[in-house]
Amino acid sequence: MRLQQGGQIDRGQKISFRFDGQYYKGHPGDTLASALLANGVRLMGRSFKYHRPRGVLAAGSEEPNALVELRTGGRQEPNTRATMVELFDGLQAMPQNAWPSLRFDALAINDRFSNFLTAGFYYKTFMWPAAFWEKLYEPIIRRAAGLGSITTQPDPDAYDKGYLHCDLLVIGAGPSGLMAALTAGRAGARVILADEDFRMGGRLNADRQSIADMAGADWAAQAVAELAQMPHVRLMPRCTVFGAFDHGIYGAVERVSDHLLTPQPGKPRQTLWRIYSKRALVCAGAIERPIAFANNDRPGIMLAGALRAYANRWAVSPAQDVAIFTNNDDGHRTAADLMALGVHVAAVIDTRPDAPPLAGTAVLAGAQVTDSAGRLGVRAVTVRLANGQSRKLAVGALGVTGGWNPNLGLTCHQRGRPVWEEGIAAFIPGAALAPGMAVAGAAMGHFSTHAALATGAEAARAALADLGHSAPAPDLPRTEDAPTRITPFWHVAGTQRAWLDFQNDVTIKDVKLAHQEGFEAVEHLKRYTTLGMATDQGKTANLGGLAVMAELTGQSIAQTGTTMFRPPYTPVALGALAGRSSGRDFRPTRLTPSHHWAREQGAVFVEAGLWLRAQYYPRAGESHWRESVDREVLATRASVGVCDVTTLGKVDVQGRDAAEFLNRIYCNGMAKLAVGRVRYGLMLREDGIVFDDGTAARLAEDHFVVTTTTANAVAVFRHMEFARQCLWPDLDVQLISTTEAWAQFALAGPKSRAVLERLVDGGVDLSNAGFPFMACAELTICNGCRARLFRISFSGELAYELAVPARYGDALIRKIMEVGAEYDITPYGTEALGVMRIEKGHAAGGELNGTTTARNLGLGRMVSTAKDSIGAVLSRREGLVAPEGLELVGLRPANPQSQIPAGAHLLAQGAALVAANDLGHVTASCYSPNLGSYIALGFVKNGAARMGETLRAASPLTGVDLEVQITSPHFYDPEGERLRA
C-alpha cells in the first residue's frame, strides 16, 4: 500500500505497467518492486527448488527472490531483480519459475518432498545408470529447476564499449561517496562517481535522519547538484562497477536505456566502461542480513532496512500492521521510521534481553520469532517471549535484521582477504587491498552517517595526497553518530526448515547435512549446498550459512572464514561484454584489392582467416560449384588464369645482414641466394616442427621480400621480430609487414607470359632465358606503375606473381582481364587454386598443421646441417627422425569417381578399423579434372617405400570406406617441365 505522504516519487504523474498479466499503476521514481508493493502485490515469484511463494526481500541489488522476466520478444531478459528495475510506462514483467500460475504452482509439490530434496540430492540420486542422465534425468531436472528463460530471438539493441580515465574513482554515491567526491572535486581532481542506483544518495534516500538540518535525501540532492557543476567530475548513475582488475582498472556497466521502453535512436542499451583510475575509493555501503527461523521466507517477511527504505523513499509499506525482528539498534530505527509514517508497528521482537525501550510500541526483549503463517504471504508470526510463552502477532509484514555486512565484493577481487570485526559482528575488508584502492563508510564498517561522511572525506584527501595534490578538510555537516550496538544472533534454535539462502533454497538442515557429510570448509559448503551461488552470489545469505557451520564445528566465524567474491559484482549481460562485436561485426572483414571487381563477376566468397577470398566464379549455366572449379582449372592449364594472392603475408627484410638473418630463420640456405632470384623457404619452430613456408625473393643485396601463408602472416612476422630483437640484436636488419601494401596477382598457364608482355613496360626481357623460373625483378607496368614481378608457381604451370601498390590492385585486375581477353583469361578462386596444388603435391594448410616435420613433407633434406637455424637442432630429435615416420604421398581411388574423404584414416587392406592399425590419414582431397579422377594427399607411415600399395581409407564420420592406391604426390607434370617452359 502507498503511504499518504512522503517518498521521492512524483505523485503528480502516473505510469502504467503490467506484471503477470495484470495492469498496475505506479509513479516516476518507483522501482518495479516498490510499485508492486504499492499495489498490494507481495507474491512476486516462486523459489528455485521447492517452488515456495516468494516476495521481495531487499530493496537493492542484493535481492535474491524477486526475479522477473522483463520485457518481451527479443528484448526479454530473465532474472531481472525487481528491486533494480526503474519503472517506466509500458513495462511488462512476468514471474519466473511458476507453472501454471504464480498463485498455483504445480511444482510446489516439491516442498512436500523436501526431505528428499536436500543438499547433494542430485549427486546421490541420479548416479545410476549413467545412460539415464542425458535422456531422462537431465531434461526433467532442467525443466523443474532453473531461473527464468531466455529469448530465442536476436537482441535488437546495440551495446557499446568505452574507456574513461580519472584521478579518483568513487564507487557508490551514499554519504561517504558523496563526501569523497565533493572533497576531491572541490580540490580540482578528475573524479568519476558511479552508483548502480538511478538516484544518487544511497541510504540517505532510504533513511530519515537529517544532515545539516535538512533531510538526508535533500542533502544528497544538493551534493549531486554541486558535483554536476564541476566540469572535471563525471556523475554516472545507473552504472554498476562490477569488477576491480589489475593496476587500477575497473569494469563498469552503465544501463543507458534500461529505464526506457526502447532505447532512443542511436543510443545503446548498455555501455561497458573500462575505467582507468589512479586511485579508487569503494563506498559501496553495507548489506543487511536476515535471521533464520522456521518459514522465514514467506512474502511480506523482508529485511528491516528494506522495509524502511520502501517506506521512506517510495512511501510504500507491504502492510498496515508490521513487526520488527532484530538483534541490534538499527531494527529500532526502522520501527521508529515506520511509526513516524503512520504504519502500525505491533511489536519489536529483540533477541537481546537488555534491549532498550522504544516509544510508541512494545519492545519484546529477549524474544524470538519462531514461525510464520499465511499461504501466499505472511498473515501472522509466532513469538516466543523471554519467559518461554508463545504469542501470535497478526501482521502483514515482518522486518528482520541480523545486522549489517560491509559490502565486500570489490575489495576481494584482487586477493583482498576480509577480516572479522567483533564490534559490528561482521567481516570488513582486510588491510591488503588492490593497489590504489581504499574503502570508506559502511563498506569499511563505519555505520553511522557522521562516520561515513568523515571517512569519505578523509579517504579522498589521502588519495589526493598520494597523487601529490592537497585537498582541504571539509566542514562536515552535522548528523547522527550513533554507535553500532548488536548482539550476534544468527538463527532461532530448534528449527530445520529455516532459510539461509533464499535464492537457492538452502536451509539450516542443508548446512547440517553438509557438516555431517564432511563438507565443512566454506568452499565445500558452498558447492555442496549451493549456498551463495546464482545471480545474487549469496549477498544476503553467505554469513548466515557460515555462522551455522561455525556453530556446528565449534569454531569461531573468524576461524571459519568466508568464501571469496569474484567479478562480476552483479550479473553482466553477455551483450554488454560483446559490445559491437556481434553478427557480421563479430570480427573485422578484410577485403582483397580485387574484391569489388570479383563481386561484379558474381564470385562466391569464402572466409580465409579474416579475409574474404573469391572461392570460384560461377558462370551462366553452371549449376554446381564443381562445374565452375573444373572449368577454371582446365582453362588455366590450357591457356591462362588469374588469381588474387594478396592475402599471403609479405615481409620486407632490409639491411646489410638481411641474408644472414633469413639464413637463420629458414631451415634451408638463404645466404647465397643471388640478387634477382627467388627461393622456396621452410620455417621451423624451435621444437623442429614445420611452422610455415613461403618464398624469399632477393631484390637487392640488402633487400628481400618474404612471403608467408595467409593464416600465419601475423605469427611469422612476430616470430621474425622476436628473432631480430631478442636473439640477434646486433644484426643489421629491419622488417616491415607489407601484406596490405601490395596487391598481388598470380598469372598462371602457358599463355601467362603473353599476357604479361602486354602489361610490362618495354625493355624487360621476359623470355625463358631472360626471366627464368624463380627469377624476380622490380619494374614498371602500364606506363610507369611501380611493380614487382616474381616467376614462381603454386599451380605447376608457367606462372608469375605480379605485385603493385595496393591502391592500383583494382585497376590492375581489370587491366589484366582486358589484355588477357585475347587468350580467354579465366579468373580462378581458392577452390581451383587448391585443386592445382593438390595435383602438384604442394603442401598447404592440411599438411602444415603444426604437427608435421620437414621429413613428413618429404622435405627432410632441406634442413641444412651446415648451419644453425631455428628448429634445426630439435628437428633431428630421435622421435622425429625415427623410421616408420609419416611421409607425404598421393592417393588414388580404385574407382576414379569415388571421392576420398579428407580426414579418412589409412589402414592395411583387411585391417580392423581400430587406432592400433592406423597407418596415416588423408589431408587433402579433390577431383582432378586433368586426371579425370578423384585424388588426395595424405601422410602414410613409410609412405615413400609403399608406392603402389593399396590401402583401406576409412572415414567412420562420413561412412565412406574405400580402397586407395599410394602414388607419388606429384600427380601432374612430375618433372616440372611446364613451370620451366
Among positions 777-816, residues that touch other proteins (CB under 8 A) are none
Can residue 727 be called a binding residue for other proteins (CB under 8 A)? yes
CA distance 33 to 607: 49
Cβ nearer to other proteins, comparing 556 with 851: 851
| For helices 830-840 and 625-638, angle between their N-to-C axes, nearest 10 degrees | 60
Q: By CB under 8 A, how many residues form the interface with other proteins?
A: 31
User: Cβ 345 to other proteins, closest distance in Å?
Assistant: 50
Report the C-alpha dihedral over residues 302, 404, 289, 29, rounded to 10 degrees: 40
Q: What secondary structure does DSSP assign to 872-908, as a single string? A: HHHHT-HHHH-TT-EEEEEEEESSTTS---TT-EEEE
Contacting other proteins (CB under 8 A), which of 365, 462, 731, 960? 731
Contacting other proteins (CB under 8 A), which of 23, 99, 104, 276? 276
Instruction: Name residues whose C-beta falls within 8 Å of residue 752's C-beta, 6 or more positions apart in sequence.
Output: 640, 797, 798, 799, 800
The cell for 41 is 502485490
Is the four-CA dihedral 18, 146, 198, 178 of positive or negative sign?
Answer: positive
Instruction: Name residues whose C-beta falls within 8 Å of residue 265's C-beta, 6 or more positions apart in sequence.
Output: none
Can residue 672 be called a binding residue for other proteins (CB under 8 A)? no
Residue with cell 553452371: 622
Contacting other proteins (CB under 8 A), which of 160, 218, 226, 686? 686
Cβ nearer to other proteins, comparing 132 with 728: 728
Contacting other proteins (CB under 8 A), which of 73, 435, 483, 494? 435
Cβ nearer to other proteins, comparing 436 with 827: 436
Contacting other proteins (CB under 8 A), which of 729, 762, 883, 948? 729
Among positions 227-266, residues that touch other proteins (CB under 8 A) are 245-249
Cβ nearer to other proteins, comparing 437 with 843: 437
User: Cβ 663 to other proteins, closest distance in Å?
Assistant: 12
Cβ nearer to other proteins, comparing 161 with 921: 161
User: Cβ 86 to other proteins, closest distance in Å?
Assistant: 33
Task: Confirm if 452 and 284 have CB atoms less than 8 A apart.
Answer: no
Can residue 415 be called a binding residue for other proteins (CB under 8 A)? yes
Cβ nearer to other proteins, comparing 357 with 435: 435
How many alpha carbons fall within 13 Å on the CB side of residue 656?
A: 3
User: Cβ 413 to other proteins, closest distance in Å?
Assistant: 12
Binding mask 132-171 for other proteins (x = CB under 8 A): ----------------------------------------
Q: What secondary structure does DSSP assign to 347-367, as a single string? A: EEEES-TTPPP-TTS-EEET-
Cβ nearer to other proteins, comparing 366 with 655: 655
User: Cβ 881 to other proteins, closest distance in Å?
Assistant: 12
The cell for 884 is 616408420
Coil, strand or helix: which one is 136?
helix
Residue with cell 601529490: 468
Contacting other proteins (CB under 8 A), which of 105, 167, 657, 839? 657
Cβ nearer to other proteins, comparing 645 with 863: 863
Cβ nearer to other proteins, comparing 725 with 958: 725
Cβ nearer to other proteins, comparing 122 with 728: 728
Task: Confirm if 699 and 636 have CB atoms less than 8 A apart.
Answer: no
Cβ nearer to other proteins, comparing 213 with 730: 730
Query: 906 φ, ψ to 5°?
Result: -110, 130
Of 289-297, 534-542, 728-736, 747-755, the window that binds other proteins (rule: CB under 8 A) is 728-736
Can residue 687 be called a binding residue for other proteins (CB under 8 A)? yes
How many alpha carbons fall within 13 Å on the CB side of residue 732?
A: 6
User: Cβ 432 to other proteins, closest distance in Å?
Assistant: 9
Instruction: Name residues whose C-beta falls within 8 Å of residue 157's C-beta, 6 or more positions apart in sequence.
Output: 75, 257, 262, 263, 268, 269, 575
Residues in the chain: 981
Residue 840 corresponds to which amino acid? K
Residue 519 corresponds to which amino acid? F
Among positions 854-883, residues that touch other proteins (CB under 8 A) are 867-869, 872-874, 876-877
User: Cβ 673 to other proteins, closest distance in Å?
Assistant: 20
Task: Confirm if 853 and 922 have CB atoms less than 8 A apart.
Answer: no
Spell out the alpha helix ranges (H) of 792-843. Answer: 809-820, 830-840
Contacting other proteins (CB under 8 A), which of 134, 354, 475, 730? 730
User: Cβ 605 to other proteins, closest distance in Å?
Assistant: 27
Instruction: Name residues whose C-beta falls within 8 Å of residue 28's C-beta, 6 or more positions apart in sequence.
Output: 9, 10, 13, 15, 87
Contacting other proteins (CB under 8 A), which of 728, 786, 818, 956? 728
User: Cβ 876 to other proteins, closest distance in Å?
Assistant: 7
CA distance 974 to 405: 79
Cβ nearer to other proteins, comparing 274 with 970: 274
Coil, strand or helix: which one is 514?
helix
Can residue 587 be called a binding residue for other proteins (CB under 8 A)? no
Residue 377 corresponds to which amino acid? G
Among positions 81-120, residues that touch other proteins (CB under 8 A) are none
Task: Confirm if 891 and 921 have CB atoms less than 8 A apart.
Answer: no
Binding mask 617-656 for other proteins (x = CB under 8 A): ----------------------------------------
Among positions 696-725, residues that touch other proteins (CB under 8 A) are 714, 718, 721-722, 725
Cβ nearer to other proteins, comparing 104 with 728: 728
CA distance 515 to 545: 11
Closest of 59, 467, 452 to residue 279, by C-alpha: 467
Q: What secondary structure does DSSP assign to 137-154, as a single string? A: IHHHHHHHS-S----SSP
Cβ nearer to other proteins, comparing 132 with 722: 722
Query: 328 φ, ψ to 5°?
Result: -150, 170
**What is the DSSP pairing of strand 649-654 with strand 905-908?**
unpaired
User: Cβ 667 to other proteins, closest distance in Å?
Assistant: 11
What is the binding site for other proteins (CB under 8 A)?
245-249, 276, 414-415, 435, 657, 686-687, 714, 718, 721-722, 725-731, 867-869, 872-874, 876-877
